Amino acid sequence: MLHDIRFETTESQDWTGISTITPAVLDAMRDTPRDAFVAEEYWPQAYANHPLPAGFGQTISQPFIVALMTQLLLPQAGHTMLEVGTGTGYQSAILARLVKRVVSVEVIAELAERAGRLLARLGVDNVEIHHCDGYLGYPEAAPYDGIIVTACARKIPLPLFGQLKPGARMVVPVGPPHGAQELMLVEKSPDGSLSSRSVLPVAFVPLTRPATE
């Protein structure tokens, strides 16, 4: 089970600036059945601390990265978060246990539909999924208390930054597809200016956009 995974934050503290994962995030991780979000053939590996295939060329991130990205958002019970890249719905389900509302966007229709059915079956009722271009976010529900991007963008997506509340954070992998990528923590100051820092080297699938783009 997931509670057997040791989140060795001390080993990455110099990079991440995080010495521990909060109990609330750990409880959300432990209470979310990761095996429900992977294909039956991957059930024996469902609680291993590494990514797994999710279909359509996508992956479900390793638990440590999910926990770290969630922690970096500083989620609070009254928050509304935007997730870019619904995928299997696993990260959505984690966030749903920590915040009031999750707005999630997914460019692959089949993944969006599958995740919606799964979350409904698990009784997760505070996640709304939209099939659209994640790079553009979902301005209809903006501004957000935080934004998490679960695929790699070539640069920080400014349309998403514009949908953050002042003082809010965005966590996004940035870099070339299949090249050197960095997990970036982006913060929007009260005056609307952008600041960012690299948290950790990572490897994510590319942020996919519609073929017409």
Active site residues: 61
Helix 23-30 vs helix 63-72: angle between axes, to the nearest 10 degrees? 140
Task: Tell me how far apart the alpha carbons of residues 213 and 197 are, in angstroms, rounded to a whole number.
Answer: 29
* Alpha-helix residue ranges (DSSP H) falling in the chain: 9-16, 23-30, 63-72, 90-96, 109-121, 158-161
Q: Which residues of 51-77 are buried (b: 16+ CB within 10 A; e: fewer)?
A: bbebeeebbbbbbbbbbbbbbbbebee
